[in-house]
Amino acid sequence: MEEGSTKWNFRGNEELNPEFSFSIKGVLNKLMKNLNETDHRPIIPLGRADPSASPCFRTTPIAEDAVIDAVRSGKFNSYAPNVGILPTRRSIAEYLSHDLPYKLSPDDVYLTAGGKQAIEVILTVLARPGANILLPRPGYPRYEARAALSHLEVRHFDLLPKKGWEVDLDGVGALADDKTVAMVIVNPGNPCGNVFTYEHLQKVAETARKLGILVIADEVYGHLAFGSTPFVPMAVFGSTVPILTLGSISKRWFVPGWRLGWIVTSDPGGFLKKYGIVECIKDYFNITSGPVTFTQGAFPQILARTSDDFFLKTINVLREAADICYDRLEEIPCITCPHKPEGAMFLLAKLNLSLLEGINDDMEFCLKLAKEESVIILPGIAVGLKNWVRITFAIEPSSLEDGLGRIKEFYLRNAKKN
């Protein structure tokens, strides 16, 4: 068909363009395009958080069987209620209530297609005209991307590397005004691999209360803590400040493709209901689709039957991998990690580019590393910190050793000669 004199009115929405909203996938795709096809060594993917391909992070057969049983039962073929099926919401309420000083009800739980849809729902609900939200820097860029699409203004507070990536609470106070609706914390942390202490979370809650804002607690890495700081759910402070907790099966069970997550309102004071947040969340679920029904149907079995051995084994592998990563980096002068990871799957480290020849920033570093060594790591710019890098250690320890060895070779080859 010729275009002729027709004037087509449609255009792509440029707000979806990765040039406008940084996405981890967009940056990683760029790195993958820069690989050297004549390098026959295996590619070492330390850029993204999907360990499911590594045999040591295969999920438990309990979970696989539960999904098979759910499919075969024939009970989960119809549409689910918009907010998710009741037995699953009930089992999640019970699962999370274990660690809380009060009981959650199934009505506090909304099932989502993974943590990412939970982010989409929450940010859409909060995006009233003129509102702003406080996000951590470094952070998880999906929040910025979703906020941009909803025209929700973003303001960044810092996480402080010298204080184990704690929130700069004075900075939070200085950023907020009467249009600020919420602050986000990610715990255990992506991209920093930190775990907040009880005392620090308490201060976060008190700060948010003083400012009259709610706390969005992204706990998709909940319980993946292997250092000396135990994981404490933010909802412990639900009586101080209203909390929206985000969770997911993706990370603790290593099945990100299954797309099951949740939003939980932890708010014994009832403020989320009083000020219309709960109603709005329900309204949003009326115009979106949640997770497939058979993973919903399987989840109560998965929660009830996954053994402590599975959790213990995977935590031990993560601890070992974090140790390898941290120790090997100590041997590479141009990369400094200020804080050994204690949770999640990442380590964030600073580049000292003055030690290298002809590499001017983190993106160049990662592009050149991909080309010369077939190792993929994430430039810090993708998570809000220029000239840092995020390395995922949730991979087979032998591949991790291989990858870090190659990064050391890369350093030696590109180091400034004096």
Binding characters for ligand PLP, 33-72, by CB under 6 A (x = yes)? ----------------x-----------------------
Among 95, 110, 140, 157, binds ligand PLP (CB under 6 A): 140
CB of 381 to ligand PLP, least distance (A): 17
220 binds ligand PLP (CB under 6 A): yes
Distance CA 20, CA 24 (A): 13
379 binds ligand PLP (CB under 6 A): no
Residue with the two structure tokens 């699962």: 95
Among 91, 190, 194, 295, binds ligand PLP (CB under 6 A): 190
Greatest distance between any 2 Cα atoms in the chain: 71
Q: Which stretch binds ligand PLP (CB under 6 A): 110-118, 175-183, 319-327, 389-397?
A: 110-118
CB of 250 to ligand PLP, least distance (A): 3
CB of 413 to ligand PLP, least distance (A): 32
Which segments of 268-348 does DSSP mark as H helices, in order? 271-274, 277-285, 293-305, 308-330
117/301 with CB nearer ligand PLP? 117
Cα 353 to its chain centre, rounded Å, is 28
Amino acid type, 13? N
258 binds ligand PLP (CB under 6 A): no
Distance CA 22, CA 139 (A): 12
Alpha carbon separation from 64 to 176, 275, 360, 392 (Å, rounded): 45, 41, 46, 25
Among 164, 261, 291, 380, binds ligand PLP (CB under 6 A): 261
Q: Which of residues 157-186 bind ligand PLP (CB under 6 A)?
A: 186
User: What is the end-to-end Cα distance of the chain in Å, rounded?
Assistant: 64
Cα 147 to its chain centre, rounded Å, is 15
12/257 with CB nearer ligand PLP? 257
Residue with the two structure tokens 């993946």: 224
| Nearest CA among 186, 278, 268, 198 for reference residue 224 | 186
Enumerate binding residues for ligand PLP (CB under 6 A). Answer: 49, 114-116, 140, 186, 190, 218, 220, 248, 250, 256, 261
